[in-house]
Amino acid sequence: MYRADSKKAEEFISHDEILDTLKYAEENAGNRELISSIIEKARACKGISHREAALLLECNDPELLEEIFSLAKEIKQKFYGNRIVMFAPLYLSNYCVNSCVYCPYHIKNKTIARKKLSQEDIEREVIALQDMGHKRLALEAGEDPLHNPIEYILESIKTIYGIKHKNGAIRRVNVNIAATTVENYRKLHEAGIGTYILFQETYHKENYEKLHPRGPKSNYAYHTEAMDRAMEGGIDDVGLGVLFGLNTYKYDFTGLLMHAEHLEATYGVGPHTISVPRICSADDINAADFENAISDEIFQKIVAIIRIAVPYTGMIISTRESQKSREKVLELGISQISGGSRTSVGGYAVEETPEENSSQFDISDNRTLDEIVSWLLKLGYIPSFCTACYREGRTGDRFMSLVKTGQIANCCSPNALMTLQEYLEDYASPETKALGTKMIREQMERIPNPAIKRRAIENLKYIGEGKRDFRF
């Protein structure tokens, strides 16, 4: 039974430890020898501590910064190669009982259109997403026990997995809903979700409570300890994140890494993903009102150092960021991006009018999925629609052990190429298909294992013949 006065969160996210860490970083910002030693330690790709990472974040020496960014690129390449996993958010409902001051879903907002998708609506939305080529979704919903109970979420997941349209199928449903009970996490696990995602927003307890004045989300401990309950409920792939701009970025950066350390130490499994959203304007929310908003340069630095600190963790960036911003951080650590996204409730099947706006935030990258796939190919990346690890049971500690030893590449590289081939056959424009075909041909030559290469060639032939869903 969860205790409302739990102090567990304040033990693994210690306010005093964060303050001591930031002080340590400030005091050693000019210590080139110490910073160089941390960079050298990080080259082993075993990660670094939150204190060491905070010092790298404090560093402003141009020469050392160049080394930090160069190392982030090396680590990204070693663990993820040039693969970029594609996904799309699907907003089920924006009914919410919370009063979060940075989110237009807050209960006092009377200007936003309140919507909730029926199962028939969900089917139309999913078919529209399948027609784009998506295979992986992230479900989003406001916190409202009346409109959005766990039963509604579970029914929606079942509906999504049950929709087969032409060659389309959603193969992985990640879930980003409010903190809940062990029992409900167990139900989500049994429903076959991929990753459970929950953003902390900020790890600063006092500021967290000011930002969440009313509603269930106002309970800092309950929210912060959600991943522990998710793990207890059987979900071994969890995704962390903060909303940069709500609080000082150095504090939340440190708290985020401490949370990752806690999961690793307690469960032997660190976060499957870390998301790095920045505060964004929407409906009655003006990002300019938040004094802790961060620059593009700081944002890039954060991404690079997270990649160095937790090399095994996937990193996600959404369409909150512009094309230019996304391009800069892809090589520094990002491994998953959304494409062709809508942040409204509905909007894939039929685009909303301005008068019926239900969006959670304004989108900065409005390109279609095909335009983003083409863009990635031109940059030398492999857009991947792979969900094989989830469906083959390579999750939690099994996935992490494969990542940390580098063996995951034997699965990821051919799977990325096969799912790209599926996309090219079924959804791509002629230009994108030409680019993708060239990419696949070049990448096939680089698969070092002869047996894997032969099997990949055979599977690509089958896909060309109309068969689907081959995986390693």
pLDDT single digits (tens) 251-298: 999 999 999 999 999 999 999 999 999 998 878 888 888 999 999 999
- Residue 200 maps to a domain: yes
Work out the average pLDDT over 239-255.
97
Work out the average pLDDT over 370-392.
95
Please provide the size of the chain in residues: 472
Total number of domains constituting the chain: 2
Helix (H, G, I), strand (E, B) or coil at 386: coil
- Residue 395 maps to a domain: no
Query: In this predicted structure, what is the pLDDT of residue 1?
Result: 47
In terms of domains, do 354 and 415 share one?
no
Amino acid at 23: K
pLDDT at 441 over 70: yes
Rounded CA separation 213/208 (Å): 9
> Looking at per-residue confidence, does 239 or 288 come out higher?
239
Which domain range does residue 414 map to?
405-464
Asked whether 294 and 266 are in contact (CB, 8 A), the reply is no
Rounded CA separation 126/401 (Å): 33
Mean of pLDDT over the chain = 95
pLDDT at 417 over 50: yes
Q: In which element (H, E) is residue 52 found? A: helix 50-58
Work out the average pLDDT over 420-443.
97
In terms of domains, do 256 and 126 share one?
yes
Q: Which range, of 83-87, 417-421, 447-451, averages the lowest pLDDT?
A: 447-451
Query: In this predicted structure, what is the pLDDT of residue 158?
Result: 98
Work out the average pLDDT over 65-93.
96
Query: In this predicted structure, what is the pLDDT of residue 6?
Result: 83
- Residue 376 maps to a domain: no
Query: In this predicted structure, what is the pLDDT of residue 2?
Result: 52
- Residue 58 maps to a domain: no
Which of 308, 337, 366 is the last residue before a domain boundary?
366
Cβ–Cβ contacts within 10 Å for residue 250, how many? Answer: 18
In terms of domains, do 301 and 412 share one?
no
Q: What residue ranges in 22-114 does DSSP mark as E strands? A: 83-93
pLDDT at 435 over 60: yes
Q: Please, which pLDDT band fits residue 325 given cuts at 50, 70 and 90?
A: very high
Query: In this predicted structure, what is the pLDDT of residue 3?
Result: 56
In terms of domains, do 103 and 186 share one?
yes
Rounded CA separation 310/52 (Å): 12
**If we measure between CA atoms, which residue out of 277, 184, 276, 181 comes closest to residue 226?**
181
pLDDT at 4 over 70: no
Which of 366, 386, 418 is the last residue before a domain boundary?
366
- Residue 471 maps to a domain: no
Q: Please, which pLDDT band fits residue 80 given cuts at 50, 70 and 90?
A: very high
Query: In this predicted structure, what is the pLDDT of residue 5?
Result: 66
Rounded CA separation 158/153 (Å): 9
pTM over 0.85: yes
pLDDT at 316 over 60: yes
In terms of domains, do 90 and 171 share one?
yes
Rounded CA separation 164/469 (Å): 13
Query: In this predicted structure, what is the pLDDT of residue 401?
Result: 85
Query: In this predicted structure, what is the pLDDT of residue 404?
Result: 83
**149-166 pLDDT, tens per residue?**
999 999 999 999 999 999
Work out the average pLDDT over 173-181.
98
- Residue 120 maps to a domain: yes
Residue 120 exposure: Cα atoms within 13 Å on the Cβ side: 0
Rounded CA separation 446/472 (Å): 17
Query: In this predicted structure, what is the pLDDT of residue 284?
Result: 83
Asked whether 400 and 312 are in contact (CB, 8 A), the reply is yes
Rounded CA separation 167/426 (Å): 7
In terms of domains, do 351 and 455 share one?
no
In terms of domains, do 155 and 252 share one?
yes
Asked whether 106 and 114 are in contact (CB, 8 A), the reply is no
Q: Please, which pLDDT band fits residue 377 given cuts at 50, 70 and 90?
A: very high
Share of the chain above pLDDT 70, in %: 99
Rounded CA separation 71/32 (Å): 16
In terms of domains, do 358 and 411 share one?
no
